[in-house]
């Protein structure tokens, strides 16, 4: 017989202790069974030990009934498969439980051992299928995001650096305000620069330098969010990221695009955040100090979310020291605090980006050339960790 820890973990909830004892004895050879007398004890059991693969509940229980318990269990352990075991035959109540609790199987009492075991095997198989699909989706998501980020760092180091600077500011803002899907908000800021791939190189260079743009060039830059949204939209689970980028040209007062009548807090949070940090970074690129940049943003009444603008003011002063490192000492995860140039003064990478595997390879390749890389390279003493992946709850 397999060790208990290798068996599928099952939670049985009923208000009849004798019934639970009988089920535990009959199922223990094939399942790791935990029982709870009543829904209240069942809810307590959900927070203990390893997650359950299957949760089985009776319907007619005093206090919290099976429908209410399974609905709560669905929120507490969303990956667990749920099964209803009941002698109650009211179809309306049964349908409510199935729908609200996301019930996968329903058995009527009394139930024989073979029928119960077969149903539990089906529930375990469904649970493992859901977990496998979720893991595959998250791996695909992470891989797609990493590929796009690496391509951006290679095609336009300046845009990659701009996105990283903006994400660092956004992260400081998010430390002081409440926001759902923080990982998605930070990812939207970082990936908002993907649209630079649509710009001619000369326009991209002038944008990176904060130089003036001709009307036709400015029109290209204004279309960057649309390009970035088109690149991101096909990736599963990035709808909120694409939405944030779509609204990144929208003013808090309703001005800007899209011209759909939204204003204030009806504008998606990510769009409001991105508009602020992007305009803030544009001012820094022009050479103004962080404090002057915030003061300038304040002068545009109504353009920015007031709460986010106040949070930016608190985060405006840069934190941490700067130190110099050689090319040999440069590591993935370090943050470049100043532009990197060749020995002859040619700009290779703008200041701000976190060193990725692709960026490190790019700089090492430059170092092999005759013009080389000017040392030391200036990095922050306390580089921040990359944006969290999907599924993070912070």
190-199, 230-239, 366-375: the lowest-pLDDT one: 230-239
Backbone angles phi, psi at 227, to 5 degrees: -65, -45
Average pLDDT over residues 59-85: 85
Average pLDDT over residues 115-137: 86
Q: Sign of torsion, CA 302 165 140 99? A: negative
pLDDT (tens digit per residue) in 335-366: 787 788 899 988 888 766 778 888 899 899 99
**pLDDT greater at residue 82 or residue 292:** 82
Q: How far is CA 104 from the centre of its chain?
A: 29
Q: Which CATH architecture has domain 4-133?
A: 3-Layer(aba) Sandwich (3.40)
Instruction: Give CATH 3.40.50.2300 domain extents, the chain.
Output: 4-133
The b/e string for 210-226 (b: 16+ C-beta within 10 A; e otherwise) is eeeeeeebeebbeebbb
Calculate what percentage of the chain has a pLDDT beyond 90: 25
Single out the residue of 128, 131, 115, 117 nearest to residue 33, CA to CA. 117
Is the CATH number of domain 156-313 3.30.70.120? Answer: no
Beta bridge partners of 323: 379
Average pLDDT over residues 200-211: 80
Beta bridge partners of 105: 83
How many residues belong to the chain? 394
| Distance in angstroms (rounded) separating the CA atoms of residues 301 and 272 | 14
Is-cis flag, bond preceding 388, omega within 30? no
- 223: which residues sit within 8 A by CB, 6+ positions away? 195, 198
Which of 21-25, 177-181, 233-237 has the highest average model confidence (pLDDT)?
A: 21-25
1-15, 27-41, 66-80, 196-210: the lowest-pLDDT one: 1-15
Average pLDDT over residues 127-142: 78
> With 80 as the cut, is the pLDDT of residue 140 above it?
no
| Distance in angstroms (rounded) separating the CA atoms of residues 20 and 26 | 10
In this prediction, residue 163 carries a pLDDT of: 87
Look up tokens 């694409």; give the residue. Answer: 242
Contact 65, 39 (CB under 8 A): yes
Contact 52, 80 (CB under 8 A): yes
In this prediction, residue 93 carries a pLDDT of: 66
Instruction: Give CATH 1.10.3210.10 domain extents, the chain.
Output: 156-313
Residue 3 confidence class, pLDDT cut points 50, 70, 90:
very low
- This prediction has a pTM of 0.55
pLDDT (tens digit per residue) in 151-202: 787 778 888 888 888 988 999 999 988 887 788 888 888 888 888 888 888 8
Within 13 Å of residue 6, how many CA atoms lie on the same side as its CB?
Answer: 4
């Amino acid at each position: 017989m397999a060790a208990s820890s290798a068996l599928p973990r099952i939670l049985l909830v009923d208000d009849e202790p004798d019934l639970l004892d009988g089920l535990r004895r009959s199922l223990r050879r094939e399942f790791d069974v935990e029982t709870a007398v009543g829904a209240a004890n069942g809810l307590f059991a959900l927070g203990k030990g390893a997650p359950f693969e299957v949760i089985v509940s009776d319907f007619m229980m005093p206090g919290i009934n099976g429908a209410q318990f399974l609905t709560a269990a669905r929120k507490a352990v969303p990956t667990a498969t749920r099964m209803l075991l009941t002698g109650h035959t009211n179809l309306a109540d049964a349908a409510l439980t199935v729908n609200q609790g996301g019930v996968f199987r329903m058995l009527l009492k009394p139930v024989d051992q073979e029928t119960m075991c077969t149903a539990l095997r089906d529930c375990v198989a469904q649970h493992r299928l859901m977990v496998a699909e979720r893991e595959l989706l998250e791996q695909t998501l992470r891989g797609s995001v990493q590929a796009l980020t690496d391509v951006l760092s290679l095609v336009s180091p300046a845009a990659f650096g701009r996105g990283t600077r903006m994400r660092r500011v956004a992260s400081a803002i998010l430390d002081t305000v409440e926001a759902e899907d923080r990982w998605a908000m930070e990812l939207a800021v970082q990936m908002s620069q993907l649209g630079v791939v649509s710009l001619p190189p000369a326009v991209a260079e002038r944008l990176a330098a904060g130089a003036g743009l001709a009307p036709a060039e400015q029109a290209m830059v204004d279309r960057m969010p649309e390009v970035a949204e088109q690149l991101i939209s096909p990736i599963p689970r990035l709808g909120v990221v694409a939405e944030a980028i779509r609204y990144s040209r929208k003013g808090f007062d309703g001005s800007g695009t899209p011209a759909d009548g939204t204003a204030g807090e009806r504008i998606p949070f990510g769009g409001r955040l991105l508009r602020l940090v992007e305009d803030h970074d544009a001012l820094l690129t022009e050479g103004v100090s962080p404090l002057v940049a915030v003061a300038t943003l304040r002068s545009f009444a109504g353009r920015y979310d007031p709460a986010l603008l106040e949070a930016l003011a608190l985060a405006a002063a840069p934190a941490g020291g700067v130190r110099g490192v050689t090319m040999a000492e440069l590591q993935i995860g370090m943050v470049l605090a100043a532009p990197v140039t060749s020995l002859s003064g040619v700009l290779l990478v703008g200041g701000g980006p976190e060193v990725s595997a692709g960026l490190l390879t790019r700089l090492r390749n430059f170092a092999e050339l005759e013009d080389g890389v000017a040392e030391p390279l200036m990095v922050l003493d306390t580089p921040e960790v990359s944006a969290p992946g999907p599924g993070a709850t912070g």
